[in-house]
Structure 1
Amino acid sequence: MNESLLRELIPAVTGVLVHRGADFATAEDAVQEALLRALATWPTDPPNDPKGWLITAAWRKFLDATRAESSRLARENRVAAEPAPGPADSADTLQLYFLCAHPSLTPASAVALTLRAVGGLTTRQIAEAYLVPEATMAQRISRAKRIVSDVRLDEAGDVATVLRVLYLVFNEGYSGEVDLAEEAIRLTRQVRALTDHEEVSGLLALMLLHHARRAARTTAEGALVPLAEQDRSRWDTGMIREGVAILQEALARDRLGEFQAQAAIAALHADAQTVGETDWVQIVEWYDELDRLTDNPVIRLNRAVAVGEADGAQAGLAALELVDCEVPRHRAAEAYLRERAGDLTLAARLYADAARAASNLAERDHLTRQAARLNDAIRG
């Protein structure tokens, strides 16, 4: 049994229960219980209609949970008079995405609720992926459900908010038994099938183009490999082709958004057979578009590095002077540009400073190695 295909059905099933009158929190719990039962029974007794089986099982769980309430009979009567679930399922599924990414939720809560209610992951799987105790994640999900409990499923939602949540999931990469990058790609594909929005395509293209380089991004020992040093024969060319095709289709609609611009930069990197063939001038132009769209200091920092590649290290340093020095990775960017400019002593010191400020072990180790490499060169 393909567990990911089973999870594809979860948002539609939850949407059907809410459409029938179940409150979101109880419906989501019922669907999770139905999912666990499916995982236990389907390998030996697969149903002819998986979606119908899940709807029936989840609805029964919901009725069991609300048996003592006087509204049970009214709910059952209303369901009996309803037509079988049909095309409206897609709308219900999309609204469920909107609900899980509701602006009233913190980013962490929105991510957890999306993975549980839309992704179909268990609380344990989500907790392992984010390296927190299961009880902590259970509290986070329960709190998120309470916050959105009064939000109507048919209220207008914001696609941009959903995309930001999915991008947060993607950037967590792999941890525990769940590959969150692949899960984010799966969910983004689902959103793309549900709505005609060019930024959804932009995000999917961005994810595919980044994920295509995954095998080359670290050594066997887990050390980071910078883009310029990656073995490009290990890049997934099929995934790159798909990402570029999706991006081209989105850009042709002439409604540029930040994810399309980011994907365009990733596509230019993917298109270069060697680092020396990278079209840095065009990358700088895309960063200019991205800066106009986002007014984000991190974008300006990345642009400064690209300017350094396109126009020389001194031009890159001049662009970097316009970026707040407290922006994350500022020291690492300056270290790289100072090295390119020939100031190895200052670059080594900046690499060491950047290592101490790094947010994860792999990045800290990489920056420490860069500092050691330059110090060896200075002594030699």
Structure 2
Amino acid sequence: MSNGLEDVLREAAPGVVAVLARRYGDFGAAEDAVQEALIAATDNWGRSGVPENPRAWLTRTASRKFLDAARSDQARRRREVLAAMREVPGEARERDDTLTLLLLCCHPSLTPASAIPLTLRAVGGLTTAEIANAFLVPEATMAQRISRAKARIKSSGTPLRMPDPAERPERLRSVRHVLYLIFNEGYAVSTGPHLQRLELSAEAIRLTRMLHRLVPSDGETAGLLALMLLTDARRDARTGPNGELIPLDEQDRSRWDRTLIAEGTGLLDAAFSRGAVGEYQLQAAIAALHARAARPEQTDWPQILALYGVLEKITGNPVVRLNRAVAAAMAAGPDEGLALLDGLEGVPRFRVDAVRAHLYEMAGDPRAAAELYRSAAAGTDSLPQQRYLITRAARLNQATR
């Protein structure tokens, strides 16, 4: 499939799913019908070209697929035929359709493990096989996960409509959280042989750009997009020639993408000008401070430490406390950072061990650092992270001989 055709299908599909789900009242069946229509479009358009109105073509085809499937159940057939006679929403609804579908896929009743693949399939247009491959699980397992998510939405009785004004902030918060998790899994893969999965981080950025276009006045959505861009700008410098992990303070900063950094900082400045500041804007502000430092020693660690302090108060997230410990060590010495790690719970043990090892190394205790690096390596399922931590431990052991 050509990139142009793939882009057209991915842009049109979410709105078509939303139209069918609202028209017929069955999100799961609507999503399945659109997937069949996309397959038909790939075959048809590849031979005859993209039609003048791709969305209308997909809507007609998916409707036929939906009704063909519905005719096997006579009790439902009358309801589907009557529903098909309703007025088709006009183009003015397309923006709301996509936003509504995002809000539905990221419904607070779904766990992230369910919402992430459902969003990637229904809104992102990825196939079940592609999603399964990204998360290193069998396709059948991922298909069951997506089916359960659709069944949960159906059983909840949630209509496909824009939430009431009172509900919308919470639903948007769920969408942002799911997109954030997708990006993080793509940027730092939690398991397997790869450090990054570019297709996931790129899809998260694409979907967040879409969300920002749909709610341009939402400062936290702008902050999330800025955070992704500022983080992704460092992507090429994070790995060496053999795929090995390169930590932030050792990266070649000339390889950072200055175009993405400029876009991210511009989004962040605009978001801050709107008043209220949220957790994604604060994380983006920290990323921007790193981006502005031409050399590691120029990093404004006191300001980063202050931002982490505010972020921890807002979120209560123990991962923020872990990052704050690193900032404290850089700003005021390793003892300050180690003190913040005491009693820290709610973070995977290997991550705490890795940070503690780094701080002991800063404090001039290579033996304790090496032992903690080995412990951290044993606790992670990411092969690149394992190799990095084992290498750090080996270097310290060699230095102490």
TM over 0.5: yes
Instruction: Give the corresponding residue for 1:346.
Output: 368
Instruction: Give the corresponding residue for 2:278.
Output: 257
**Alignment of 1:235 onto 2:256:** yes
- For 1:7 and 1:108, the matched residues in 2 are separated by 22
CA separation of 1:94 and 1:223: change in aligned 2, threshold 3 A: same
Q: Deviations over 1:51-109 (max 9, x none)?
A: 11111111111121112435546645554451552222222221211111112222111
- Would the aligned equivalents of 1:125 and 1:178 in 2 still touch at CA under 8 Å? no
Aligned residue identity for 1:161: S
**Alignment of 1:375 onto 2:361:** no
**Alignment of 1:15 onto 2:28:** no
- Would the aligned equivalents of 1:16 and 1:85 in 2 still touch at CA under 8 Å? no
CA separation of 1:293 and 1:10: change in aligned 2, threshold 3 A: same
Aligned residue identity for 1:6: L
CA separation of 1:55 and 1:375: change in aligned 2, threshold 3 A: same
**Alignment of 1:139 onto 2:144:** yes
Aligned residue identity for 2:260: M
- Quick one: percent identity of the two aligned structures? 51
- For 2:80 and 2:11, the matched residues in 1 are separated by 26
Among candidates 96, 99, 102, match of residue 101 of structure 2: 96
- Would the aligned equivalents of 2:23 and 2:86 in 1 still touch at CA under 8 Å? no
- For 1:190 and 1:22, the matched residues in 2 are separated by 25
Local SS of the residue matching 2:319: helix
**Alignment of 1:49 onto 2:53:** yes
Local SS of the residue matching 1:94: helix
CA separation of 1:78 and 1:143: change in aligned 2, threshold 3 A: closer
Q: Deviations over 1:167-192 (max 9, x none)?
A: 11112217899701000111111111
**Alignment of 1:182 onto 2:202:** yes
- Would the aligned equivalents of 1:298 and 1:327 in 2 still touch at CA under 8 Å? no
- Would the aligned equivalents of 1:199 and 1:259 in 2 still touch at CA under 8 Å? yes
- Would the aligned equivalents of 1:127 and 1:137 in 2 still touch at CA under 8 Å? yes
Aligned residue identity for 1:185: I
- For 2:354 and 2:315, the matched residues in 1 are separated by 22
CA separation of 1:377 and 1:26: change in aligned 2, threshold 3 A: same
How well do the aligned residues superpose, as a CA RMSD in angstroms? 2.0
- For 2:93 and 2:274, the matched residues in 1 are separated by 27
- Would the aligned equivalents of 2:220 and 2:280 in 1 still touch at CA under 8 Å? yes
Among candidates 338, 341, 344, match of residue 317 of structure 1: 338
Residue correspondence of structure 1 range 1-380 to structure 2 within 5 A? 1=2, 2=4, 3-45=6-48, 46-68=50-72, 69=74, 72=77, 75-76=80-81, 78-82=83-87, 84-149=89-154, 150-154=157-161, 155=163, 156-157=167-168, 158-173=171-186, 179-195=199-215, 196-321=217-342, 323-324=344-345, 327-328=348-349, 329-379=351-401
Q: Which moved more, 1:197-206 or 1:172-181?
A: 172-181
Instruction: Give the corresponding residue for 2:190.
Output: none
Q: Which moved more, 1:315-324 or 1:194-203?
A: 315-324
- For 1:283 and 1:40, the matched residues in 2 are separated by 52
CA separation of 1:193 and 1:307: change in aligned 2, threshold 3 A: same
Aligned residue identity for 1:351: Y
Task: Compute the TM-score of the two structures, normalised by the length of structure 1.
Answer: 0.94
Q: Which moved more, 1:264-273 or 1:64-73?
A: 64-73
Q: Deviations over 1:117-153 (max 9, x none)?
A: 1111111111111111111111111111110012211
- Would the aligned equivalents of 2:70 and 2:77 in 1 still touch at CA under 8 Å? yes
